[in-house]
Amino acid sequence: MTPVRVAVLASGGGTNLQALLDALHDSPLARVVRVVTNRPEAGALERARRSGVPATVLKDADDAAELLAALDPGVDLVVLAGYLKLVPPPVVARFRWRMINIHPALLPAHGGPGMYGRRVHEAVLASGVAESGVTVHYVDEQYDRGAIIAQARVPVQPGDTPQTLAARVLEAEHRLLPLVVLELARQGIPNDPVRLS
């Protein structure tokens, strides 16, 4: 069985990319074969270099043809891991049910345009909810609206700050994302939505 070929899109430091690189390093199920970023200073590029994974810096992240060229040929699954740009509709269409995103909250709450990083955790704390968490979902044409695949819950503790909550949520991200990728690979990247939890 040929491992599922995974491309990771990242805009920042790439800690979720690293979690995938570590988890899939010797996996017969899936392998990270490409990293794509919209920012030449993204820490994800150094992580890709250290792992020997080819990387592409997009000149124009809104250019569907450029992004498709970076992903094709040979990518089976696209993982958005801290990628802060809206994926152009032709790319979403090309990878329908084969493109997933990880979001640092329990969608559908605390998602949408501009909801990333510290802003998400500030919104969670301002809402007064007792728990936050992580959502892995399919990518569609809108921010954070695709069908949910899996979630992991994280308690909001008394005295939490955006930083302390973010650290706890990030640990859950690093556990959940590789599990979802491996399970999708085990199922052969189904052509229909999968709900794992």
Instruction: Provide the pLDDT for residue 193.
Output: 84
pTM of the model: 0.95
Give burial (CB, 10 Å; 0-12/13-18/19+) of 74: exposed
Instruction: Provide the pLDDT for residue 99.
Output: 97
Instruction: Provide the pLDDT for residue 72.
Output: 76
| Superfamily of structural domain 4-186 | Formyl transferase, N-terminal domain (3.40.50.170)
Instruction: Provide the pLDDT for residue 177.
Output: 98
**φ, ψ at 108 (rounded to 5°):** -85, -5
Instruction: Provide the pLDDT for residue 197.
Output: 64
What are the tens digits of pLDDT across the range 101-145?
A: 999 999 999 999 999 999 999 999 999 999 999 999 999 999 999
Instruction: Provide the pLDDT for residue 46.
Output: 96
165 and 125 in contact (C-beta within 8 Å)? yes
Q: Which residue positions in the chain have pLDDT lower than 50? A: none
Domain ranges of the chain: 4-186
112, two tokens: 């949408």
> Order of strands across the sheet with 4-9?
55-57, 30-37, 4-9, 77-80, 99-103, 131-138, 148-155
Active site residues: 103
